[in-house]
């Protein structure tokens, strides 16, 4: 488990670099797999950007790991070829299932996360390319580690 007080962007930065180096890839090599410019890889590894869910998914795919592996130490989890959901869908479903399991209405989550109810509602129907800082607020509002929102097969 990573340090729970460390911002997710720093956790992802460290993990992307670790996995990239473990795969024997340069920043240019990873950029070609994304595809993107090397400057994006550099920015991610320095935690200089507030990443979106779609960008996190691109990095996970390029590194050949499940996105939750970018928020955890230890051996990376391989991508499940049978899970066809986008990371947006997975996070949306996890937010919804955690929120409802806790008996928390959208208004309650939006208040505790400091986000609008409309934002929470739009996220829950997979229409938001959520930024990492908002995911941190949602996780805090739900009382769970941010990695829980990325879980591939969450069971409540």
Q: Where are the domain boundaries for CATH 1.10.260.40 in the chain?
A: 8-71, 87-150
| CATH dotted code for 8-71 | 1.10.260.40
Q: Alpha-carbon dihedral of residues 148, 152, 74, 5, nearest 10 degrees?
A: -20
pTM: 0.90
How far apart are alpha carbons 59 and 61 in whole angstroms?
A: 5
Beta bridge partners of 78: 65
Per-residue model confidence as pLDDT tens digits over 100-131: 999 999 999 999 999 999 999 999 998 789 99
Per-residue model confidence as pLDDT tens digits over 19-62: 999 999 999 999 999 999 999 999 999 999 899 999 999 999 99
Spell out the residues 6+ positions from residue 26 whose beta carbon is closer than 8 angstroms to its own.
none
Fold of 87-150: 434 Repressor (Amino-terminal Domain) (1.10.260)
């Amino acid at each position: 488990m990573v340090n729970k007080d460390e911002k997710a962007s720093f956790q992802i930065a460290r993990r992307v670099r670790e996995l990239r180096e473990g795969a024997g890839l340069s920043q240019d090599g990873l950029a070609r797999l994304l595809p993107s410019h090397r400057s994006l890889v550099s920015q991610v590894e320095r935690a200089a950007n507030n990443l979106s869910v779609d960008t996190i998914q691109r990095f996970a795919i390029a590194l050949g790991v499940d996105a939750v592996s970018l928020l955890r130490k230890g051996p990376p989890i391989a991508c499940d070829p049978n899970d066809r959901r986008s990371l947006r869908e997975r996070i949306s479903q996890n937010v919804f299932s955690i929120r409802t399991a806790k008996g928390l209405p959208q208004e309650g989550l939006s208040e505790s996360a400091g986000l609008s109810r409309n934002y929470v509602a739009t996220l829950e129907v997979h229409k938001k390319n959520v930024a990492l800082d908002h995911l941190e607020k949602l996780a805090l509002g739900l009382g769970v580690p941010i990695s829980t929102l990325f879980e591939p097969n969450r069971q409540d």
